[in-house]
Amino acid sequence: MPTIPPIPADVIAWNKARQAFANSILVETPLASLAQDLDVPPWPIVSPDETPAAYIYLPYPQAIAALAVRKLPPEQLKHLITLLNDTNAFDQPFGDMMAEPSGADSVTNDLESPLFKNFAKLGLLQDFPLDLSALSAGTLTLCKNEKVTTLGDFVTFASRLSQAVIIGGDFRELLNALAQKDEDSLAKFLPMRAGHTGLYLPETIALSVLAISAPDRSAFLQNPASIPSELRARTARAVAYFTTAHATMCTAISAGAPPARLVSELPDHTLHAIVLELLRPHLPTPPAPPAPPPKRSLLQRLFGLK
């Protein structure tokens, strides 16, 4: 009776990983975005079509062939297996990931955690929407899937994470920055201002502008009508959130303050013009400058005549 050769370990690992990922809500998320949020090598192809769905429905030989079409070596499948497994581990339900206290003490324990103490010292806002931060799309998708939608939710979630859970990417970077009260690192993700506590409207808009390439920024300034609707919608959400700051801006403009003053605190001067352009539809029309006095004739000037 012929001996049936054993199934190679790589085939077993691939089948297990792709079957486990088949029901994930992240099957259409670009692999490059998923890799950014984990301690794995970057995915070499950055494309909206380069998703887990492009591979997980293929048996091992066809998956290797799909990689070859993209000029990727067979060894890349091992990286894909790790990426799928690590994403699944991060995306598991809260109950498997959390070391959550029970009873009425849970909220008290959260507020007394080192993260929340640093949070309070920095004057951060618990209801600040995460989608106005500079977290990557992959991290925002994972957080939204678990109903973590505000900065306060994020800190509560992070405070209760089991020590056994391994996280990576910008999720870990923001978490580490909060734990160490590293304001420079925090400012990469949150609209903070050097030397001040709290969060700010111009800096919130600047975070979204920083995600755009420098050539695109220049193009938008030359033709403001070409600014994407998504960027204008994000600005509108930021204005709606920072109601007090927006009202103060409107008052200042109505009183004759130069609009450039609204963005003067932004350290990157290359952002001033486009942030101001995004703010412009949400500001009143500046008052017209006073008319210059009429010119007097030589005789009027000589004899002090009006």
pLDDT digits (tens, 9 = 90+) for 231-260: 999 999 999 999 999 999 999 999 999 999
Stretches where the chain sits below pLDDT 50 are 1, 93-109, 162-166
CA distance 115 to 153: 12
Q: What is this structure's pTM?
A: 0.64
Domain boundaries, the chain: 9-91, 96-186, 201-282
User: Which pLDDT score, from 0 to 100, does residue 112 have?
Assistant: 63
pLDDT of amino acid 124: 93
Q: What is residue 243's predicted lDDT score, i.e. its pLDDT? A: 96
CA angle 9, 93, 181 (to 5 degrees): 105
- State residue 100's pLDDT score: 46
Q: What is the DSSP letter of 172?
A: H
pLDDT of 59: 92
What radius of gyration do the chain's Cα atoms show? 27
Q: Which two tokens stand for residue 30?
A: 């670009």
- Assign 3-class secondary structure to 11-72: HHHHHHHHHHHCCCCCCCCCHHHHHHCCCCCCCCCCCCCCCHHHCCCCCHHHHHHHHHHCCC
Q: What pLDDT digit, counting tens, does each position of 138-188 carry? A: 888 888 877 899 999 998 887 776 444 446 678 888 888 888 888 999 999
pLDDT of residue 111: 57
